[in-house]
Amino acid sequence: MSALTFRLRHEPQLRVSLALLVPQTLARLSPAAIPEMELTWGSGAIKVGELFEIRGSDASHLVFEGGSPKLDRIGEAMASGEIIVRGDAGAYLGHRMAGGTIRVDGSVGAYCASGARNGFITVDGDAGDFLAAALPGEHRGMAGGLVLIRGDAGERAGDRMRRGVVLIEGSAGDYCASRMGAGTIAVLGRTGAGIATGMRRGTLLLRETPELPPTFNDCGVHDLGFLQLLYRSWASLPGGFAALPGNSLTVRRLVGDLGNGGKGEVLVWV
Amino acid sequence: MQINGIPVADTFAEAFAMWGARVLITAENEKWAQAAARTMTGFATSVIGCKCEAGIERTVPAAETPDGRPGVAVLLFAMDSAGVGKRLVERIGQCVMTCPTTACYNGLTAEESVMVGGALRFFGDGYQASKLLDGRRYWRVPVMDGEFLVEERFGVQKAVGGGNLLILGDDTAAALAAAEAAVAAMQQVPGVILPFPDGVVRSGSKVGSRYKALIASTNDAYCPSLRAVAPNTQLPEDVGCVLEIVIDGLDLPAVEEAMRRGLQAVARPGIRQISAGNYGGNLGQFKIGLHALLNGAGETA
């Protein structure tokens, strides 16, 4: 069976939610029923067949061809299988994802991986603001899984993140790891202002020493053995995280935010 | 039946159902991994007096360990899974966490598991932190040389304890040489340990005692100096020394394989008979017949 492929007929004029187009939902439908599904389209609805040209039949492997930043909620609550996006994707990619794999060869919008509990997301381009962060009104952001951004991430990456791993090969915007509750974020590029503000727990691993709030204390340079486990768990990933700087376990450990519990750590390779 | 002309008694080793765990200790170098493993497996010869039985299974090359450092695999056995958990917390807490540069990982994939690092983390007094990687949680406990890394849960599985061989020799030198040869051969078998000092025990025991406070006492039937007074002595006239090798394993085939290799290795000049200890077959769940082992079969009865 070939992958169930949705080829975008034209650039959508309005934002459209693809939350229904996930493997566990499509596997229950007949081929004839899929084009008749109605997607949220602005404040109205649009049939899948009007938006996409459909081919293939394997609902456990979905491909979206001809991406658009208006295609929201791709892989929302996805439980298993694989989704490939050839092009850009909109907001909420992998929102509340529980398993499976999403690969995007373009860029994604805001709130990518927000509320994800498990699974693996790779984005070859950039990620918008609030990567793996909590939605407004929610207490927890990403709660499990791994997100790899090959490009840059926007502001507030990892805001209120609860668990899991976020890897950013490029740079991260302002307030990265703000109010972070647990988990691991690693950034190979630069970071912005307000980094780790309100961080409660968790680990932020950086290549360059950041401009931290004064509520972080420098605990000195140490060899931390758990980093070897982290590196090994990333060894099969594409890109820079598979070969970190000499797999160095030696880091400067900055602990904080002491104004908010103070059990988080910013580790900087030395 | 004989091996190399040495009689093998038509008897069986009576082994018991236990629970076991494998602990993988790593350190900056093998010296410190061995130091932690030796300390952790000290005073762990018999559940009768030590609450558990433990020993070093093998050294583990750095390429095979989770953190790429030299390692040592330790097996620990107790009578139930809760007992394994308690002993692991005690011994890892007192003997591995205290040892410079060490880390401690679960080395057994099993359906059941017991909390270990999840209990030891409280030593961190609030400064501890954890990482969840590939479904396994590791605790980082701050200590004076950096951090002690310990896995939260350790797998436990049903196991077999008390496999044994009795070596009846002309004298101490002959029995000791045979025992050392057997230990060297048996230690090559994965999944087993020989919990007594360097694998050998001289104070074999029988169940019960004339003293009410004791649940076990000397195995007078195999004490050469009691040959003429013990009511049920098992020793021919020319036996001057008896040594025993006890085997615990993660499963019965591993114990049987170790005993099979031990039988072959122990059959050498100066040995009068090879036998095994049992309690009449009434106490243990496993009866490992010596003749059956030599015939290529496994457990008897």
The pair of three-digit structure tokens given for residue A179, joined into one six-digit string: 């109010």
pLDDT > 80? residue A244: no
Is A60 within the bounds of a domain?
Answer: no
pLDDT at B298: 59
Chain B residue whose CA is closest to A163: B132
**Beta-bridge partners for A54:** A6
CB-facing half-sphere around the CA of A202: CA atoms within 13 A: 33
User: Which residue type occupies B42?
Assistant: G
For residue range B36-68, what is the model confidence (pLDDT) as tens digits?
A: 999 999 999 999 899 999 999 999 999 999 999
Distance CA B261, CA B192 (A): 12
pLDDT > 70? residue A245: no
pLDDT at A246: 58
For residue range A116-165, what is the model confidence (pLDDT) as tens digits?
A: 999 999 999 999 999 999 999 999 999 999 999 999 999 999 999 999 99
Angle at B289 between CA B283 and CA B294, to 5 degrees: 160
Q: What is the pLDDT along chain B (301 residues), one digit of tens a residue?
A: 899 999 999 999 999 999 999 999 999 999 999 999 999 999 999 998 999 999 999 999 999 999 999 999 999 999 999 999 999 999 999 999 999 999 999 999 999 999 999 999 999 999 999 999 989 999 999 999 999 999 999 999 999 999 999 999 999 999 999 999 999 999 999 999 999 999 999 999 998 999 999 989 999 999 999 999 999 999 998 999 999 999 999 999 999 999 999 999 999 999 999 999 998 888 899 999 999 999 876 565 4
Residue B132 contacts A, CB cutoff 8 Å = yes
The pair of three-digit structure tokens given for residue B238, joined into one six-digit string: 């020319």
* pLDDT range class, residue A111, cuts 50, 70, 90: very high
CA trace torsion A183, A187, A190, A194 (10° rounding): 0
Q: What are the two backbone dihedrals, phi and then psi, of residue B226, each rounded to the nearest 5 degrees?
A: -110, 15
Q: How many helices (H) and strands (E) does chain A have?
A: 3, 17
Is there a contact between A193 and A211 (Cβ–Cβ < 8 Å)?
yes
pLDDT at B297: 64
The pair of three-digit structure tokens given for residue A178, joined into one six-digit string: 């703000």
Contacts of A116 in chain B (CB under 8 A): none
Contacts of B126 in chain A (CB under 8 A): 263
Distance CA A15, CA A189 (A): 31
Q: How far is A249 from chain B (nearest CA, A)?
A: 11
Is A174 within the bounds of a domain?
Answer: yes
Distance CA B73, CA B68 (A): 14
Is A97 within the bounds of a domain?
Answer: no
* pLDDT range class, residue A243, cuts 50, 70, 90: confident
Overall number of domains in chain A = 1
Distance CA A93, CA A110 (A): 8
Residue A203 contacts B, CB cutoff 8 Å = yes
Closest by Cβ to A201, choosing from B103, B129, B133: B129
Is there a contact between B9 and B290 (Cβ–Cβ < 8 Å)?
yes
Contacts of B146 in chain A (CB under 8 A): 222-225
pLDDT at B281: 84
Closest by Cβ to B103, choosing from A184, A225, A263: A225
For residue range B167-203, what is the model confidence (pLDDT) as tens digits?
A: 999 999 999 999 999 999 999 999 999 999 999 999 9
CA trace torsion B55, B146, A243, A157 (10° rounding): 120
Is A35 within the bounds of a domain?
Answer: no
Is A265 within the bounds of a domain?
Answer: yes
**Domains parsed from chain B with CATH numbers:** 2-15+160-294 (3.30.70.520), 18-157 (3.30.70.520)
Q: What length does chain A have?
A: 270
Q: How far is B43 from chain A (nearest CA, A)?
A: 30
- Share the mean pLDDT of chain A: 95
For residue range A46-74, what is the model confidence (pLDDT) as tens digits?
A: 999 999 999 999 999 999 999 999 999 99
Position of tokens 């019960």?
A: B208
Residue A217 contacts B, CB cutoff 8 Å = no
Distance CA A59, CA A82 (A): 9
Is A188 within the bounds of a domain?
Answer: yes
Contact B67 A224 (CB under 8 A): no
Contact B131 A223 (CB under 8 A): no
pLDDT > 90? residue A248: no
**Which of B121, B131, B132 is the best mutation test for A, with the most CBs of A within 10 A?**
B131
Closest by Cβ to B67, choosing from A201, A222, A229: A229
Terminal C-alpha separation, chain B: 19
pLDDT at B296: 77
Residue A72 contacts by C-beta under 8 Å, 6 or more apart in sequence?
A: A15, A16, A17, A18, A19, A90, A91, A92, A109
Is A42 within the bounds of a domain?
Answer: no
What number is the average pLDDT over the span A197-211?
95
Which domain range does residue A122 map to?
107-269
Chain B residue whose CA is closest to A202: B129
Specify the 3-state DSSP secondary structure of A142.
coil
Residue A233 contacts B, CB cutoff 8 Å = yes
